[in-house]
Amino acid sequence: MAHARRRILATRPKLEISDAVWAFLNDLPIPDGDSETHLEVLLLEAGDGEALREVWDRARGEVLGGWVKDHPGTRPSAWWRCEAPRQPMGNFQGCYYDARLPEQRKFISGSGCPAWMVMAYVPSYELGLPVQWAGFDASDRPVFESQAAFLQRHNLLTPHELRVLTAADYEQTEVLPEGREVLEGPCSGPNAEGVRWLNEWEAAIRARIPEARKAMGFFDYQQARPN
């Protein structure tokens, strides 16, 4: 069915975008076997993101109009990539992505820190949450503010959302999904010297985490909540 829908190449005349792009902008699932749609999305995301921003600028009114009614207090992935408030100039001084990254949602509690703070990773985010994390602990998972709280802080809620959202929506939190940890030790294997080097390297990275947490306002590595 997905292939049949895609081959029609139906477009929204007003927006001049295909059904595949419309699905992508609305975070609708794309079947794994729909290679044509996956290719179209891949091309849209390629490069510096200008192609995606151009399509988003064209479709944002219609996308957000429906999204806010169905999912008040949240925004689709494309909004976070193209329109969310940016981190201020100078956060990554000298880097090509300085002032181009979306602002991270507020980190409330939990273990670890964003991987870029202790390793050579380019910061990346999904719905305002870091994609790579260092020091993830399943028993003390990183907790962030809700999308609704983020939007409220930045005065980005629509009149409709202000009417329908409740205090509970703002007070909700979201835990960082599993699978974002970049440190996978302790390592093991037949090459004793290689294993020793990898474990020492990871220990050195983990030793940087307390200082990184201080920079985020957590002055005790074991402390659950910043002062």
Do 182 and 211 share a structural domain?
Answer: yes
Percent of residues, the chain, with pLDDT higher than 70: 90
Do 95 and 58 share a structural domain?
Answer: no
**Final residue belonging to a domain, choices 83, 105, 126:** 83
Q: What's the number of domains the chain is made of?
A: 2
Do 49 and 18 share a structural domain?
Answer: yes
Structure tokens at 183: 């440190």
Do 46 and 92 share a structural domain?
Answer: no
- How confident is residue 37, by pLDDT bands cut at 50, 70 and 90? confident
Do 198 and 99 share a structural domain?
Answer: yes
Q: Which pLDDT score, from 0 to 100, does residue 149 have?
A: 98
Average pLDDT in the 172-182 region? 94
- In this prediction the pTM is 0.85
Cα→Cα distances 115→52, 100, 132, Å: 26, 18, 5
Do 202 and 125 share a structural domain?
Answer: yes
Do 139 and 47 share a structural domain?
Answer: no
For residues 41 and 60, give the distance between their C-alpha atoms in angstroms, rounded to a whole number.
17
Whether 55 contacts 44, CB under 8 Å: yes
For residues 66 and 201, give the distance between their C-alpha atoms in angstroms, rounded to a whole number.
49
Q: Which helix (H) or strand (E) holds 170?
A: helix 167-171
86, pLDDT greater than 90:
yes
188, pLDDT greater than 90:
no
Do 223 and 111 share a structural domain?
Answer: yes
Do 134 and 109 share a structural domain?
Answer: yes
**Final residue belonging to a domain, choices 38, 62, 83:** 83
Do 92 and 79 share a structural domain?
Answer: no
**Per residue in 68-84, pLDDT tens?**
999 999 999 999 999 99
Q: Which pLDDT score, from 0 to 100, does residue 9 have?
A: 39
Q: Does residue 190 sit in helix, strand or coil?
A: coil
Radius of gyration for the chain, computed over Cα atoms and rounded to the nearest angstrom = 21
Average pLDDT score over the chain: 87
Burial of 9 (0-12, 13-18, 19+ CB in 10 A): exposed
**Final residue belonging to a domain, choices 54, 83, 112:** 83
For residues 174 and 80, give the distance between their C-alpha atoms in angstroms, rounded to a whole number.
16
Do 105 and 183 share a structural domain?
Answer: yes
Question: Domain limits at 23?
Answer: 1-83
Biggest CA pair distance of the chain: 63
Do 212 and 142 share a structural domain?
Answer: yes
94, pLDDT greater than 50:
yes
From 89, 126, 119, select the one nearest 104 (Cα to Cα): 126
**Per residue in 205-219, pLDDT tens?**
999 999 999 999 987
